[in-house]
């Protein structure tokens, strides 16, 4: 039975409820929520990354610039204009001389836009770059 009765008799009322099964279910739901939360966030910011045969592996980015296929720019998830991006890159350089700029450019993004972002970072005196790619399927 899921509870205990008062006095040990058959007709006594239930005075305590066993909550162990409920706690087990809540912990399983919490684990599922934690596992899917990262997937949901990544899915909302979908960029079709180009594949490469080699990769340096993940780096700890300080600033992640995303260039979407329509030319939209965003820095760490916040949409910006080119002028705003230039200002933010200068602020990042002021915070850290060793700042790393990670560029996530959609496969369909124009090459000129990627070069423009690299040029903005260089003008802000940021010299550490990483271009995000996916592993090439074999």
Q: List pLDDT tens digits, range 48-70.
A: 777 777 776 654 447 888 898 88
* Domains parsed from the chain with CATH numbers: 3-44 (no CATH), 51-135 (3.30.420.270)
Predicted TM-score (pTM) of this structure = 0.55
Which residues neighbour 78 within 8 Å (Cβ) at sequence distance 6 or greater?
none
Helix (H) or strand (E) holding 4: strand 3-5
Q: Which residue has the higher pLDDT, 73 or 40?
A: 73
């Amino acid at each position: 039975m899921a509870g205990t009765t008062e006095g040990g008799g058959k007709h006594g009322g239930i005075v305590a409820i066993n909550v162990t099964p409920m706690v087990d279910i809540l912990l399983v739901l919490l684990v599922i929520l934690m596992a899917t939360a990262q997937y949901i966030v990544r899915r909302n910011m979908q960029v079709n990354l180009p594949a490469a045969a080699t990769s340096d592996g993940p780096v700890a980015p300080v600033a992640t610039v995303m260039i979407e296929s329509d030319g939209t720019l965003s820095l760490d998830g916040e949409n910006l204009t080119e002028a705003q991006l230039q200002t933010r890159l200068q602020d990042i350089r002021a915070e850290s001389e060793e700042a790393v700029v990670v560029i996530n450019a959609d496969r369909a993004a124009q090459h000129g836009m990627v070069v423009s972002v690299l040029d903005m970072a260089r003008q802000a005196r940021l010299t550490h770059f990483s271009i995000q790619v996916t592993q090439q399927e074999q």
